[in-house]
Amino acid sequence: MTVAGTLARWAAETAITESTVALTRARQGIWDTIGCMVAGAGDTGAARVRATVAPWGTGPATVIGARRKAPAPWAALANGMAAHVLDYDDNYHPASTHASAVLVPALLALGEEIGASGACFLDAYVIGSEVQAAVAQGVNRIHYDSGWHGTSTVGTIGTAAACARLLGLDAEAMTNAISLGASMASGTKVQFGSMAKPYHAGMAAQNAVLAAGLAANGVTGRGDALEGRLGFRALYAGPRSPGWKSVLPGLGNPLYIEKYGLAPKLYPCCGSAHRTLDGLLELRRRHGFGAADVAAVETLVGFTNNRNLMYPDPRNEMEARFSMHYCVAVALLFGRLSLADFTPRAVGRPRVRRLLPLTSMRGRPQKDENNDPAKRKPVLVKVRLKDGQVLRTRVQYARGTVFRPFDDGDLEGKFRDCVEGFLAPGAIAATERALARLGSLKSVRGLTRHLVFQAGADRGERFEGRPRRPA
């Protein structure tokens, strides 16, 4: 049995999960991602993707931020871009992906096309998250640390399995969907800080819908597309990567989403900065200092975190999301990062830019990285105050992870922050009701019909003037 065949047999034949933990986390991930999609739809990049797909025909799937529907692959593309463009969507650490930004747009679009129930949507999400993690465990950390963007490589493959599950494909067709997904996997981290980075999530969602649809209609691929001599592992990670020998026997027992959960974001920026921000803000609350009191901030982060945060002197809002220096400066000044902090005007604020040189960041050696999210080394934060005090802390896990989870108030507050001003009040309430009972919806159309609005196109200015939510 090939790796794709083993994954496919599990994904096609495993019973619908009754795990309350898995289903609750899936529903929360969907809820969070829909909020991010609504907030992101008005971004210039998202609007340009919608404009690109608009001439390609109408179809059954809702495009967030437009009143005209589209064929499922193009809706998945547009909505994936919107989900990821603000970098506010969740992380999924066992896969090193933004799992939900690919799974949710793909499954929503395909689900609308076929009239899938909410229960089937949740089930396919759980299956896709498991396959994403399993594929990633065979090639990471080498794959991710080499510069591949796992969201658009691993995300495509795992979400192809999710879409195949939603279509009810058997193991043979599921194998082909996974194989085709491997051929479509692409996207490099050189694009971080540009519109192409969130486009990766949309591309992966679109490709996953296509891979499953092609497989459903008899298009075949090699069964050994993942482990074969010229396959995914060989070309995207190489022989020093772990492979799947130890991964496949434990597939689904427990589910990765049960063991590690998702990591919804408290701050709208790259997750590589979040543990440092958590530590810095905790020191700020505990000791009562402000930006004017600080002489320097030093942080030691993971090897990959250091590489992802590649803009010490960001020139626009896209680069600022991948700048530790910018995020620390905003946190020192305001005690929180908000959506309004990522606009051209916000990035150019003189009082923020004066603080950029205060921050220094070092990365741990690559050998210190660990494929198990529970065993990664902590981030170290040191703040030197102008009066000579030196304050230190270490942060093992970011807020929002399964180790330091959000409560319902955190998730509800973030969702409202994302959708208010874009959806009408009645639509917000109806969306929340539909999400709360997602597992009992006869069709996902009972959710998406509340998400129809016409978005504008700006670079974050739509968030300016909003009150800053407390951390």
**Over residues 107-118, mean pLDDT:** 98
Alpha helices for 41-94 (secondary structure H): 44-53, 72-84
Number of domains in the chain: 2
My answer on whether 275 and 254 are in the same domain is no
**Over residues 402-430, mean pLDDT:** 93
380-412 pLDDT, tens per residue? 999 999 999 999 999 999 999 999 998 878 889
pLDDT at 373: 84
Q: What is the pLDDT confidence band of residue 471, given thresholds at 50, 70 and 90? A: low
Reply yes or no on whether the pLDDT at 370 is more than 90: no
Domain C-terminal end among 339, 360, 395:
395
Instruction: Quote the CA–CA distance of 299 and 246 in Å, as a whole number.
Output: 35
My answer on whether 296 and 246 are in the same domain is no
The CATH code of the domain that includes 236 is 1.10.4100.10
Is 459 contained in some domain?
A: no
312: its two tokens: 């010490």
Q: What is the pLDDT confidence band of residue 467, given thresholds at 50, 70 and 90? A: confident
My answer on whether 233 and 324 are in the same domain is no
Instruction: Quote the CA–CA distance of 212 and 204 in Å, as a whole number.
Output: 12
Domain C-terminal end among 231, 259, 287:
259
Least confident of 110-124, 302-316, 399-413, 425-439: 399-413
My answer on whether 47 and 152 are in the same domain is yes
My answer on whether 251 and 162 are in the same domain is yes
Instruction: Quote the CA–CA distance of 94 and 261 in Å, as a whole number.
Output: 9
Is 215 contained in some domain?
A: yes
Question: Is the separation of the CB atoms in 12 and 164 below 8 Å?
Answer: yes
Chain length of the chain: 471
Q: Residue type for 335, please?
A: G
The overall average pLDDT reported for the chain is 97
220-276 pLDDT, tens per residue? 999 999 999 999 999 999 999 999 999 999 999 999 999 999 999 999 999 999 999
Alpha-carbon Rg for the chain in angstroms: 21
My answer on whether 103 and 237 are in the same domain is yes
Is 313 contained in some domain?
A: yes
Nearest CA to 111 out of 99, 124, 102 is that of 124
The C-alpha torsion from 212 through 216 and 218 to 221, rounded to 10°, is: 30
Is 309 contained in some domain?
A: yes
My answer on whether 105 and 248 are in the same domain is yes
Reply yes or no on whether the pLDDT at 470 is more than 70: no
My answer on whether 330 and 221 are in the same domain is no
- Provide the strand spans (E) within 104-241: none
Question: Is the separation of the CB atoms in 135 and 155 below 8 Å?
Answer: no
CA 197 to chain centre: 11
Is 29 contained in some domain?
A: yes
Give the structural domain span for 15.
3-259
Instruction: Quote the CA–CA distance of 450 and 459 in Å, as a whole number.
Output: 25
pLDDT at 375: 87
3-state secondary structure 386-424: CCCCEEEEEECCCCCCCCCCCCHHHHHHHHHHHHECCEC
Nearest CA to 1 out of 195, 304, 248 is that of 248
Helix axes 154-167, 3-13, angle to 10 degrees: 40
Among left, alpha and beta (phi > 0; psi -120 to 50; other), residue 337 is: beta
Instruction: Quote the CA–CA distance of 29 and 192 in Å, as a whole number.
Output: 23
My answer on whether 170 and 278 are in the same domain is no
456: its two tokens: 């504008």
The CATH code of the domain that includes 297 is 3.30.1330.120
341-360 pLDDT, tens per residue? 999 999 999 999 999 999 99
**Over residues 49-78, mean pLDDT:** 98
pLDDT at 129: 98
Q: Residue 386, Cβ neighbours under 10 Å: how many?
A: 11
pLDDT at 186: 97
My answer on whether 110 and 141 are in the same domain is yes
Instruction: Quote the CA–CA distance of 200 and 153 in Å, as a whole number.
Output: 9
189: its two tokens: 């981290």
Domain C-terminal end among 202, 233, 259:
259
pLDDT at 369: 86
Is 363 contained in some domain?
A: yes
My answer on whether 154 and 254 are in the same domain is yes
260-319 pLDDT, tens per residue? 999 999 999 999 999 999 999 999 999 999 999 999 999 999 999 999 999 999 999 999
My answer on whether 320 and 228 are in the same domain is no
Is 424 contained in some domain?
A: no
pLDDT at 407: 80
Is 427 contained in some domain?
A: no
Instruction: Give exposure, 185-208, as e/b (b: 16+ Cβ within 10 Å).
Output: bebebebbbebbbbbbbbbbbbbb
